[in-house]
Structure formats: structure tokens, C-alpha cells
Structure 1
């Protein structure tokens, strides 16, 4: 509930704010407020994920009316042995390298990060989940270290150089162009296994 109130306040505030500096100050203030609410919920042990039935009508309608694709004849491929798999991560955590363009509300594009990148930031718009775990250990949402360990132990063939992140709050249909671009990049790098991590 608090998350939806914060998002509504952001929407109204941005319409009222006349300058970009006022908008930045508003966004920063609301971010601090959201962090306080999340921390308070964590301390009190009352933090829960928002249920669709409890969302305001606007949010409930948006999520309930998303058009999901159906696949009548999926093109399954024969899996390669684990020891020959080159693995790349695709996450909807809206993470990117520090300094990259932040994800916007309902962003349909993606960000790319290298397997050695660890200075990643999250700009996901949803406030309904606790971010404290990934702030302590990036591997909670982007398990690059675990994949490297698996490659070193011979459980998988290798870890791809490039990995990808999308904004999970966006309509999947709008991401199709970007998803095709990611698939093409993966083919060029020889990726044959994708680790999907929805957030």
C-alpha cells in the first residue's frame, strides 16, 4: 500500500514541479521516504509483498490486463551438455553499471553489463520488495560469482562476457525489439544457455 501511495505522490509531484531541479529534489525525497518505509517494515517484521487483490484499481487493472503471448508450437532445441554451456544472465531487476542511463518508468530498452562488473545500481520503479538482500550480496539477483565458480568447477562450460537487464515493471510486449537485439548479441557471443532471473 505504501509503495502505491509513493508512486502516486511521484506522479502528482512531477506534474506539479515546474523545474527539473524541483523534480530531482522530489524524487530524492520520495526515495528516502520509501527506504524509510521499507526499513520500518523490515524492523517490525511486517513487510509483505503486495497482493494483486490489495492493489489500487489502476495498478490491478494494468497487471491483470497485460497481454501475454501464447506459443502453439514452441521451437525447443536439444540442450547441450552442461559442460559445454556458455551462460548469460537476463534479469528484470533493472540493474545497470553506475554511470549508465537509469531505467525510466515502463522502460522498453535494456542495459548490458560485463561479467566483471560489480558496481551495479538498481533503478527499478517497484517499491514493493525488500532490496536489502541484494545490497549486501549482488549474487542474490545477478549471480555472476556463482556462475564463475560453476565454470571453474567444470559444472558449466563458460560464463558469457555480456549480461542483460530489463525493467521488470514494463509491459513485456514493448520489450520485443530490445529482446531481439539481446538475442542477436548472444548469438554473436556463442551463448547457448540463458539464465532468466525475474524480479
Structure 2
């Protein structure tokens, strides 16, 4: 499977719209690892729009800024995807966009200290970047701080 030229694809799909102003981050905060991964509490985060019924599906066309908390004990076969992208909807192995089983294996093998519960999912393809940065991101970061994580593994979809 070839990489998706996302920006070019968006421009082709919406030729009569004003060009989208993509976010450009010139700097990012650097947080060095303070201990080995085998001793870390790791949070799993995916932008795949995954939810665990009876949770509500995401609204894929309305810049849904909510996130879902998925217990680390959840059966991956019970999870659902409500992502706008056909690439996400057609996923055959959910672990490719939400590697919950793989992280549980890493925890059992002692390769990570602990997979934090819950894991988090949100809707990718959010075009209201200011609201994403000022509303959802701080709320999610607050939850991660409450859980006292050492590191996060983000799967962008």
C-alpha cells in the first residue's frame, strides 16, 4: 500500500474552496525519557475514531472534539470504528490503528512497565485546529496527567 498524499488529495477534492491553512509547528516541547520503557506507564492514544459500545459513535462530519476512554481489558473484537476515512472504516485488523492487543502483549512480556487503563481514542480529521488545541487537547492532557503516565504512544489515522 502506497502512502496517501493527503494534502494533495484534499486540494483535488475541494478545488473551489479556499486553501486550508495547515498547522505548522516550528517548535515542540521536548520531554526526555526519565526511565527505561520497561519501567514506564504507557498510555495508548489513537485518532482512529474507535469506540466501545454502548459508547456513542463519533460524529465524523462535524469536527467531533470528544474522546472515548477504552478499558485496557476491552475485547478488540467488540470495538467499532466511526472514522470518516474509508481507509479507517475498511480496517481488517483493528490493532493496526488501535494496537491494544499488542500493548497488552508488551506488558505481559515485561517490555513496558504498564499499559495504562483506559486507552484513549478520538476522531482524526478535525479541521477546527484552534478548538482542538484549546479545548480537546488540554482536556486529554489533563486526563493523562491524572493517570500519571510516563509516556504516550499516539497512532495517527
Q: TM-score range by the shorter chain?
A: 0.7 to 0.9
Aligned positions, number: 148
1:183 aligns to 2:141 (yes or no): yes
Change (3 A) 1:94 1:116: same
> Is the Cα–Cα contact under 8 Å of residues 81 and 89 in structure 2 kept in the other structure?
no
Instruction: Give unmatched runs, 5+ long, in structure 2.
Output: none
Matches within 5 A, 1:5-24: none
Structure 1 outlier segments of 4+, above 6 Å: none
Map of 1:11 onto structure 2:
none
What TM-score comes out, normalization by structure 2 length? 0.79
Post-superposition CA distance 1:36-64 (Å, at most 9, x none): xxxxxxxxx9x9946543522359855x4
Matches within 5 A, 1:1-199: 49=4, 52-54=7-9, 55-58=12-15, 61=18, 64-71=20-27, 74-79=28-33, 80-104=35-59, 105=61, 106-117=63-74, 118=76, 119-127=78-86, 129=87, 131-132=89-90, 134-135=91-92, 137-171=93-127, 172-176=129-133, 177-199=135-157
- TM-score after normalising by structure 1: 0.64
Q: Distance in 1 between matches of 2:16 and 2:39?
A: 43
Q: Structure 1: any 5+ residue segments left out of the alignment? A: 1-44
Structure with bigger gyration radius: 1
Deviation at 1:131, TM superposition (A): 3.8
Could you say which structure has the greater relative contact order, defined with CA pairs below 8 angstroms and 6 or more residues apart?
A: 2
SS at match of 1:83: helix
